[in-house]
Structure 1
Amino acid sequence: MRTALLRNYSGLIYEEDLRGYDQAARDQRFLSRALAADAVRIVTGCDHEAAGRAVIDGDRDQGIDAIAVGEGSPEVWLVQAKSSDAGTAKLSRDDALAFADGVRLVDGRNFDPFNDRMQPFLPRLDAAMGDSRLRITLVVALMGPATLSDAATGVMERLLEDANNNGPLLRYEVLGSADFYQRLRQDIAPDPVNVTATMRNWLRRDVPFEAWQGTVAVRDLAGWYEQHRDALYEQNVRKSLGLTRINSGIKETLLKEPENFWYFNNGITVLCDRIEPHYLGRRRGDESVRLTLEGVSVVNGAQTVTAIHEAMELDPDAVDDADVTVRAFSLGPERELYATRITETTNTQNDVSQRDFIALDPAQAEIREDFLLSGLGKTYTYKRGEPDPAPEAGCSVEHAAVALACAYHSPELAVRASKNVDLLWERGTRGAYPRLFSEVPSAYRLWRSVQVRSAVGAALELERRRLHGRAADMARRGDLLITHLVFQLIDQDGMDDPNLDWQPILHKVPTLTSLVLSWMIFHLDAEFGRNSFLSSTFSDETRCKTLAKLVLDDARRGATAPALPEDYQTQAMRPRKPRRPNAVPTLVSAGLLVDGTPLTYRPQSDPERAAVKSWLAEDPRRDKATWVNDRVKCLLWTYDGKQYSATGLVQRIWDLAGYEDAPVSVQGPGRWTLENGLSLWDFAVQLFEKEAEED
């Protein structure tokens, strides 16, 4: 709601008087005004722009935050709003008294005490107040429960008692967060689909709900699709699947044997809110009836409708002779009760997978709403036939399910996904789907999980370039298990928090991926042998659990993975001489740098220098650190007085400087230089070569 209010009313509400506040305070005051505007929109049905103009909140508002006057009617709405990011807003007794005082000023047509934003309403307000049919509605808008305290209720009831002596002049209503959220959901709901069809040879039933079945010319259905396209299938388990063998057969029959199409096709099933019949003759089944269907969704026969439209475009004269059977169910208020059952049973007769039926799960619609309404601004698709969003624009339910399977606390679901993604749609006590979606994940958790999965995939692509043979195959076949292991090493506690900065965690993913991969290669060979079959290992839940425990134990204790055998490395990566030790442990072991030795950060490339230059220049302490004889956190940053590793401090500087195109990996010791101009890396190399010569 916070995101929607800030977005929907930006530039539409007076805020000149908020310029002196910091961002947080300004947002809170603006949100209160936006809530008042949204209340006006709910009670009057106006658009966002008109609702924004209704806000008079500010100095001299006399306890009234917004006002609306009916167009050509003696109706007046007066609003007081209370916002709360925590969803706990309440109307205090003092607020209620101030509101009541403002109402009395309006009732007495005493407008002088009000601010200038009241002026545009005065002509219509004055006219309404003089009308004997005047009705005033007081609206209390709360970002919290739609209830008033006893004290506030007492104030409002006394006000009504005073005002309504001579008739029902005044009433009040309370809008809570649920009302505002419901309106927000209505804003993104698709427009209802209304169609007409002429039905012959029909029959009608009325119990348990109104239902019609009969023959309809395919030209009517082609017209439905021409006007509404995929909106026709909103409640179906899937969209039209495009060109398939089944669709091709439907079109061929229509084009070559249109007179036989009625015999060869199962027909379509339509759910709707209301059916209005217009009889073209007597009310008999052998006479035609014109049906107007409101709130339509084709729940079975999406492929038929799409194929009819395509065939009609190819040869309308031939197809015009074809008919199809249509069943239309008018569910009205019973739609929620029957819609899912009808959709499931009518589709089980056709080639429909478990993947299709998740489209009927309310959790999926809830996730899609969360994606649309949250601050992410991303798209979520869950019906088969819907195009997948671009990677940066959102994700599909398949991407989401795989990412959640990898994030699961044990590797079993990642193993299932690696075998076949369809295994993630299984229901039942041991099925994967309930474990992934029964407690509906937030849009933020879902999107961040997809980001981690994508980041691991990108890191593994780089890792595979330095690997050869069996090791490269482990990185490919074990990608989902590796993703699972990375998830276990990152902090998932704040994944639902919209205010969490997720980028620092994503920056760690390449390093964690490399670490996990190295240990996995080592333990897989050590535990199961260098000749073990990788396909059977990565598809065996028991083996993967054993492997995961071994890898995580070593990764969590900070151990360095053993070097890869030469035959696991590409020729270019194989060392020609013994591998040099890590720079920092070498320097600590040598004992040649005393604690407090000054060091300076030196960028190593033009893009890096350009990215950090202005940020470093703002404070001379930012590129300075002192040495600490610690094998991990060897630098004490002068800027904040905290200890970092050489690489960790470089990445921290990049983050704070906003270096968006930073490389995935970084050699920190090479960027921290001593007063003699040598970097920590250079100094360590000198020590190593000297020791090698002495040996």
Structure 2
Amino acid sequence: MASKQDGGPRIPTQVQHVRQALLRDYKGLIYEEDLKGYRGNAWEQRFLSRALAASAVRRVAGCDYETAGRAVTDGENDQGIDAVAVDDASSHVWLVQAKWSDAGRAKMDLGEVLKFIEGLRLIERREFEGPFNDRFAPFKMRLDAAMSDPRLQITLVVAVMGLATPSQAVQDVLERTRAEFNTHGPMLNYLVIGDAEFHQQLREDLSPSPVNVEATMSGWLRRGTPFEAWHGTVAARDIARWFSDHGDVLFEQNVRDSLGLTSINSGIKKTLLTEPENFWYFNNGITVLCDSIEPYWLGRRRPDEPVTLRMNGVSVVNGAQTVFAIHEAMQENAERVDEADVTVRAISLGQDRPAYAKQITETTNTQNAVSQRDFIALDDTQARIRGDFLLSLNKVYVIKRGRGELPDTEISVDHAAIALACAHRSPELAVRAEQGIDNLWERGPSGAYQRLFGEEPTAYRIWRLVQGRQVVRNTLESLRERLHGRAKDMTRRGELFITHLVFQLLDLEEIDEVDFDERAVLAEIPDLTETVVPWLVYHVDARYGKNSFLTATFADETRCKDLAKAVLDDIRKGQDVPELPADYVPPKQKSRKQRRPNAVPTLVNARAIDDGTPLVYRPGSSGEVLAVEGWLAEDPRRKTATWMNERRKCLLWAYDGETYSPTGLVIHIWELAGYESSPSAVQGPRRWWLNDKSLWDLALEIFDRNEAE
């Protein structure tokens, strides 16, 4: 069946369903001020195209209607991008281009897709200010933060009310763009959503189906208040049946679905197949939230007798990887896995589920994970390096995590690993470090850890390299004030690679010796850094083009090897340093009154600090020091707090476990310390420090970077 709209072409039934839903669900949620000049069908077609973009955002990002409506950027100066979505937690960015057709025959033409790709390039270069309309403003800092994250994933979403099959020319452009961006792993992908997918989404919205499962539990304990809860042992075969019947729908309220094949899942699966009788001891178990639990007794109602639980409205909120691994292992050897048991905790929230489900889910998924980084504390090599630091330098080498801010007499293994990676003769380790420090703890034949610490570097080497890296960082910070656009961005994305290049130009042959002239070497670093940067900019542009993706370039070990050779060869030959293009230096501007960032929202929006990061209170004046230092010294917890990504009360004070704003906590400390002559106002973010920078400094860096770009 089909319907006719205002005497126009016949509208297929499925398209009509979607059309009605879009007009209903996004009424008042999408910007339409620029559509006031249109009437009737002309207005409706434009609104439907925007609503389709919002619907695509909701489908891929899993957000609500209001958030999806705010994601729409379509209109003048949209640069081919009709909607934007950013997952701050995973640094996943979705860019959407949408096209509506009442006839269900919409297709993207080549020109539209080329404009879409150019919009992507502008975002990659962080050119937000001039080209884009005002509706991009809320996404600027979030996009900037995501583009700086080594976990960055970008999905280009082509949404059409028609078949999800682009023309060959369009597909070729999308494939070339994906190949260009993905020179080092899958960072960019594209997705075409057609009329069938939008109609399927509509059906899913209208017909949610709760997940109901059963399990036989032995050794059970039951708790009746405040919520009904059961805890006990369940056969692995029951858990496997859950996944076989429902798949990832089981994890609807979890922070993530099953991750498929990962090293952790592989370890769980190996235990199931090799030691199923011990699996219960090795595994942390599964936590399930339910709407209701119905017990069916197989015998007497005693904990030593089994009970079958029918759990309605189930979501596995912790242990998703265990569920998936059990399913996979059962597919491989059901008879063997049948011997395994697992601990299950089932909680029935009933009508209180909306109020408590999120809190329980977040709490059960914020326990500290044991990573490869943690296991190095057991390495004898690290213990010997720690002893070397004490004996040679009278300094502390910190191996374990959780120490927070370190004084000048201490250094962490994280700093050591990064500095050693930069000093390695091959740039690939610096490239890996730039993608994330966890890459430096990998073991095995190709792993970085053995290459960094296998020959047991001396304390002198580590300490001096760390100091050298800091000088490079300081020089780059100063240099960025004189750079603009792509050149400035290169100093951020390639900071560790630049450090590697500088280290290769230093004479470090005697760095392990006691009488090594450390001061003389450190004094060379600023000039070398200012020489390396223009050469690097020159060779990146010359080899890969001024529109090449910097993220891909500095993540590609092969490219970085070629760049390192070219840059170092030219510098060692004494070639004249190339002059940067005019568009790589800031234009002269009239002086203007300095704007001040709102520190906490700026940091939260950029996700600049991880939850749980320790911060230290530092008094700002001599009078303040005299007033509070005695009181602070009585209990070390009084001067420490941990960061939370909350816009109002972002500090959790170690002393009382309560949350405060930075300013509120400073004033509270003054009151408790009896600071009677305290000023009437204080800038709290200037008093709370992370390593060598205050919250104000960190916010100002983000603010200045965004202003420059």
Same fold (TM over 0.5): no
TM range (shorter): 0.3 to 0.5
Instruction: With a CA cutoff of 8 Å and minimum separation of 6, indicate the structure with the bigger relative contact order.
Output: 2
